[in-house]
Amino acid sequence: MVSAPPKPNDPTGDRHGPNIPPTRGYSQRGGRPGLNVDFMAVCDALQDAKNGSGETMEDVAGRFGVSRGWIWKWVYPRLQEVD
């Protein structure tokens, strides 16, 4: 008797079978920026934008290579402490 072929272990296959443990992938989109980002420069740029420089949060995020989520999580609480 021939046994069934093993289940595929690729993105389109069944990764939750009895012999295939589930794996967690790493999303490359957004997330924490590299350690070479000048945090105070990002804070200053957002403070200027808040005071009416005409730049948006997306512009600042793109200029420094960070995500908008990172700005909301780390920079905005710091700016509210200052105000």
pLDDT in tens, 10-60: 555 555 556 655 555 555 565 555 557 888 999 999 999 989 999 999 999
Burial of 58 (0-12, 13-18, 19+ CB in 10 A): exposed
**The model's pTM:** 0.56
Q: What is the pLDDT of residue 55?
A: 93
Whether the CB-CB separation of 45 and 63 falls below 8 Å is answered with: yes
Arithmetic mean of pLDDT, 60-79 = 89
Arithmetic mean of pLDDT, 52-80 = 90
Whether the CB-CB separation of 65 and 32 falls below 8 Å is answered with: no
Residue 8, helix vs strand vs coil: coil
